[in-house]
Amino acid sequence: MAQNPEAAKRVLGVYGAGQVEPGMVLGIGSGTTVDAFIDALGERLRHAPFSLVCVAASEASVARARAAGVPVQAPESLGVLDLAVDGADQVNPERVMIKGGGAALVRERLVMSQARRALILVDSTKLVPRMEQVTVPLAILPFAWPATLARIQEVTPEAYLRQVDGHPVMTDDGLYLVDAHVDDLPNPEDWHAAVKMLPGVVDTGIFAGFPAEVVVSDGEAVWPLEPCQA
Protein backbone atom coordinates (compact mmCIF):
# COMPACT_ATOMS: atom_id res chain seq x y z
CA MET A 1 0.00 0.00 0.00
CA ALA A 2 1.36 3.39 -0.98
CA GLN A 3 1.85 5.80 1.88
CA ASN A 4 1.99 9.57 1.52
CA PRO A 5 1.74 11.10 5.01
CA GLU A 6 1.49 14.70 3.87
CA ALA A 7 -1.25 13.93 1.35
CA ALA A 8 -2.95 11.76 3.99
CA LYS A 9 -3.05 14.68 6.41
CA ARG A 10 -4.76 16.85 3.84
CA VAL A 11 -7.29 14.12 3.03
CA LEU A 12 -7.96 13.53 6.73
CA GLY A 13 -8.31 17.25 7.35
CA VAL A 14 -11.06 17.51 4.76
CA TYR A 15 -12.73 14.37 6.11
CA GLY A 16 -12.66 15.70 9.67
CA ALA A 17 -14.00 19.09 8.63
CA GLY A 18 -16.89 17.28 6.96
CA GLN A 19 -17.84 15.73 10.30
CA VAL A 20 -18.46 19.13 11.90
CA GLU A 21 -22.11 20.15 11.96
CA PRO A 22 -23.61 23.62 12.46
CA GLY A 23 -24.14 24.55 16.10
CA MET A 24 -21.68 21.98 17.43
CA VAL A 25 -19.47 22.49 20.46
CA LEU A 26 -16.12 21.33 19.09
CA GLY A 27 -12.87 20.33 20.77
CA ILE A 28 -9.68 20.67 18.74
CA GLY A 29 -6.48 18.81 19.61
CA SER A 30 -3.03 19.66 18.32
CA GLY A 31 -0.39 18.49 15.87
CA THR A 32 0.21 18.54 12.14
CA THR A 33 -2.83 16.46 11.21
CA VAL A 34 -5.01 18.70 13.37
CA ASP A 35 -3.47 21.70 11.57
CA ALA A 36 -4.75 20.22 8.30
CA PHE A 37 -8.17 19.76 9.90
CA ILE A 38 -8.24 23.36 11.12
CA ASP A 39 -7.27 24.65 7.68
CA ALA A 40 -9.97 22.54 6.00
CA LEU A 41 -12.58 23.65 8.53
CA GLY A 42 -11.62 27.28 8.00
CA GLU A 43 -11.98 26.83 4.25
CA ARG A 44 -15.41 25.29 4.72
CA LEU A 45 -16.52 28.15 6.95
CA ARG A 46 -15.34 30.71 4.42
CA HIS A 47 -17.46 29.16 1.70
CA ALA A 48 -20.52 28.37 3.83
CA PRO A 49 -20.42 30.07 7.25
CA PHE A 50 -22.28 28.52 10.17
CA SER A 51 -22.30 28.91 13.95
CA LEU A 52 -19.75 26.92 15.91
CA VAL A 53 -18.22 26.94 19.40
CA CYS A 54 -14.64 25.66 19.69
CA VAL A 55 -12.08 25.00 22.40
CA ALA A 56 -8.50 24.10 21.44
CA ALA A 57 -5.98 22.03 23.39
CA SER A 58 -2.87 24.10 22.67
CA GLU A 59 -1.91 27.71 22.11
CA ALA A 60 -0.56 26.68 18.70
CA SER A 61 -3.96 25.30 17.72
CA VAL A 62 -5.68 28.43 19.04
CA ALA A 63 -3.45 30.61 16.85
CA ARG A 64 -3.93 28.35 13.82
CA ALA A 65 -7.70 28.32 14.27
CA ARG A 66 -7.98 32.08 14.59
CA ALA A 67 -5.81 32.58 11.53
CA ALA A 68 -8.06 30.18 9.60
CA GLY A 69 -11.24 31.95 10.72
CA VAL A 70 -12.34 29.20 13.12
CA PRO A 71 -13.82 30.74 16.31
CA VAL A 72 -12.11 29.66 19.53
CA GLN A 73 -13.26 30.33 23.08
CA ALA A 74 -11.24 30.49 26.29
CA PRO A 75 -10.41 27.08 27.78
CA GLU A 76 -12.35 27.95 30.93
CA SER A 77 -15.48 27.48 28.82
CA LEU A 78 -14.69 23.78 28.27
CA GLY A 79 -17.82 21.78 28.99
CA VAL A 80 -19.43 18.82 27.28
CA LEU A 81 -18.30 18.66 23.65
CA ASP A 82 -20.29 17.28 20.76
CA LEU A 83 -17.10 16.31 18.93
CA ALA A 84 -13.37 16.30 19.62
CA VAL A 85 -10.91 15.96 16.73
CA ASP A 86 -7.28 15.05 17.34
CA GLY A 87 -4.37 13.03 15.98
CA ALA A 88 -1.99 10.46 17.45
CA ASP A 89 1.68 9.53 17.21
CA GLN A 90 1.00 5.78 17.19
CA VAL A 91 -2.10 3.56 17.31
CA ASN A 92 -2.14 -0.20 17.88
CA PRO A 93 -4.88 -2.67 16.80
CA GLU A 94 -6.68 -2.22 20.14
CA ARG A 95 -6.81 1.53 19.41
CA VAL A 96 -4.48 2.33 22.29
CA MET A 97 -2.68 5.53 21.33
CA ILE A 98 0.57 7.28 22.10
CA LYS A 99 0.15 11.04 22.07
CA GLY A 100 2.11 14.04 23.27
CA GLY A 101 4.84 14.45 20.68
CA GLY A 102 3.61 18.01 20.33
CA ALA A 103 3.67 18.62 24.10
CA ALA A 104 -0.09 19.04 24.61
CA LEU A 105 -0.97 15.65 26.12
CA VAL A 106 -2.50 16.97 29.37
CA ARG A 107 -4.93 19.29 27.63
CA GLU A 108 -5.61 16.77 24.88
CA ARG A 109 -6.76 14.22 27.44
CA LEU A 110 -9.04 16.80 29.05
CA VAL A 111 -10.57 17.74 25.71
CA MET A 112 -11.08 14.12 24.66
CA SER A 113 -12.59 13.17 28.02
CA GLN A 114 -15.26 15.88 27.61
CA ALA A 115 -16.42 14.72 24.18
CA ARG A 116 -19.53 12.75 23.35
CA ARG A 117 -17.69 11.67 20.20
CA ALA A 118 -13.92 11.57 19.73
CA LEU A 119 -12.47 11.38 16.23
CA ILE A 120 -8.77 10.52 15.84
CA LEU A 121 -7.22 11.21 12.43
CA VAL A 122 -4.00 9.36 11.57
CA ASP A 123 -1.99 8.68 8.45
CA SER A 124 -1.31 5.01 7.83
CA THR A 125 2.33 5.26 8.95
CA LYS A 126 1.08 5.78 12.52
CA LEU A 127 -0.46 2.27 12.71
CA VAL A 128 1.65 -0.29 14.55
CA PRO A 129 0.93 -3.99 15.16
CA ARG A 130 2.54 -3.79 18.59
CA MET A 131 4.03 -1.03 20.69
CA GLU A 132 7.72 -1.87 20.40
CA GLN A 133 10.66 0.54 20.45
CA VAL A 134 8.32 3.38 21.34
CA THR A 135 8.83 6.80 22.88
CA VAL A 136 6.17 7.83 25.37
CA PRO A 137 6.07 11.51 26.37
CA LEU A 138 5.49 12.26 30.05
CA ALA A 139 4.42 15.60 31.52
CA ILE A 140 6.10 16.31 34.86
CA LEU A 141 6.27 19.15 37.36
CA PRO A 142 9.35 21.38 37.02
CA PHE A 143 9.69 21.39 40.83
CA ALA A 144 12.40 18.89 41.81
CA TRP A 145 12.35 17.46 38.28
CA PRO A 146 15.67 15.55 38.65
CA ALA A 147 14.12 13.52 41.49
CA THR A 148 11.04 12.81 39.36
CA LEU A 149 13.22 11.79 36.41
CA ALA A 150 15.19 9.43 38.68
CA ARG A 151 11.92 7.76 39.75
CA ILE A 152 10.87 7.38 36.14
CA GLN A 153 14.22 5.85 35.25
CA GLU A 154 13.68 3.17 37.90
CA VAL A 155 10.71 2.01 35.80
CA THR A 156 12.08 2.94 32.37
CA PRO A 157 15.87 3.45 32.37
CA GLU A 158 15.98 5.22 29.01
CA ALA A 159 14.06 8.34 29.97
CA TYR A 160 15.37 11.81 29.30
CA LEU A 161 14.27 15.38 29.84
CA ARG A 162 13.21 16.89 26.51
CA GLN A 163 15.38 19.90 25.74
CA VAL A 164 15.97 22.37 22.93
CA ASP A 165 19.26 24.27 22.83
CA GLY A 166 20.02 23.05 26.33
CA HIS A 167 16.76 24.32 27.82
CA PRO A 168 13.83 22.17 28.99
CA VAL A 169 10.83 22.12 26.69
CA MET A 170 7.85 23.54 28.56
CA THR A 171 4.19 22.84 27.84
CA ASP A 172 1.51 25.51 27.67
CA ASP A 173 0.71 24.58 31.28
CA GLY A 174 4.26 25.20 32.49
CA LEU A 175 5.18 21.52 32.75
CA TYR A 176 8.39 19.81 31.64
CA LEU A 177 8.45 16.85 29.28
CA VAL A 178 10.29 13.57 29.63
CA ASP A 179 10.63 11.18 26.70
CA ALA A 180 10.62 7.57 27.89
CA HIS A 181 12.01 5.05 25.40
CA VAL A 182 10.50 1.60 25.91
CA ASP A 183 11.54 -1.57 24.07
CA ASP A 184 8.16 -3.25 24.44
CA LEU A 185 4.81 -2.23 25.88
CA PRO A 186 2.65 -5.38 25.94
CA ASN A 187 0.37 -3.79 28.57
CA PRO A 188 0.36 -0.04 27.91
CA GLU A 189 -2.47 0.69 30.34
CA ASP A 190 -0.61 -0.97 33.23
CA TRP A 191 2.55 0.95 32.35
CA HIS A 192 0.58 4.21 32.23
CA ALA A 193 -0.98 3.54 35.65
CA ALA A 194 2.38 2.69 37.23
CA VAL A 195 4.22 5.72 35.87
CA LYS A 196 1.40 8.17 36.56
CA MET A 197 1.46 7.15 40.22
CA LEU A 198 5.05 8.36 40.57
CA PRO A 199 5.35 11.62 42.53
CA GLY A 200 5.91 14.53 40.16
CA VAL A 201 4.39 12.86 37.09
CA VAL A 202 1.28 14.69 35.88
CA ASP A 203 0.36 12.51 32.89
CA THR A 204 1.68 10.08 30.30
CA GLY A 205 1.13 9.91 26.56
CA ILE A 206 -0.67 6.56 26.74
CA PHE A 207 -4.31 7.09 25.77
CA ALA A 208 -6.43 4.00 26.32
CA GLY A 209 -10.03 3.26 27.14
CA PHE A 210 -11.49 6.10 25.10
CA PRO A 211 -14.34 5.07 22.77
CA ALA A 212 -12.61 6.98 20.02
CA GLU A 213 -13.22 6.53 16.32
CA VAL A 214 -9.88 6.18 14.54
CA VAL A 215 -9.91 7.14 10.86
CA VAL A 216 -6.90 6.33 8.67
CA SER A 217 -5.65 7.53 5.29
CA ASP A 218 -2.71 6.62 3.06
CA GLY A 219 -3.14 9.78 0.99
CA GLU A 220 -5.74 8.27 -1.29
CA ALA A 221 -8.33 6.18 0.55
CA VAL A 222 -9.88 6.86 3.96
CA TRP A 223 -11.07 4.05 6.21
CA PRO A 224 -12.02 3.42 9.85
CA LEU A 225 -9.72 1.39 12.06
CA GLU A 226 -12.01 -1.32 13.29
CA PRO A 227 -11.53 -2.43 16.91
CA CYS A 228 -9.48 -5.58 17.33
CA GLN A 229 -11.60 -8.61 18.14
CA ALA A 230 -10.21 -10.40 21.18
Catalytic residues: 108
- Residues 144 and 200 sit within 8 Å (Cβ to Cβ): yes
- Residues 151 and 208 sit within 8 Å (Cβ to Cβ): no
Phi/psi for 102 (5° steps) reads -95, 10
| Interatomic CA distance for residues 106 and 124, integer angstroms | 25
In sequence order, the β-bridge partners of residue 207 are 97
**C-alpha separations of 17 from 21, 55, 75, 142 in Å:** 9, 15, 21, 37
In sequence order, the β-bridge partners of residue 122 are 216
| Interatomic CA distance for residues 12 and 109, integer angstroms | 21
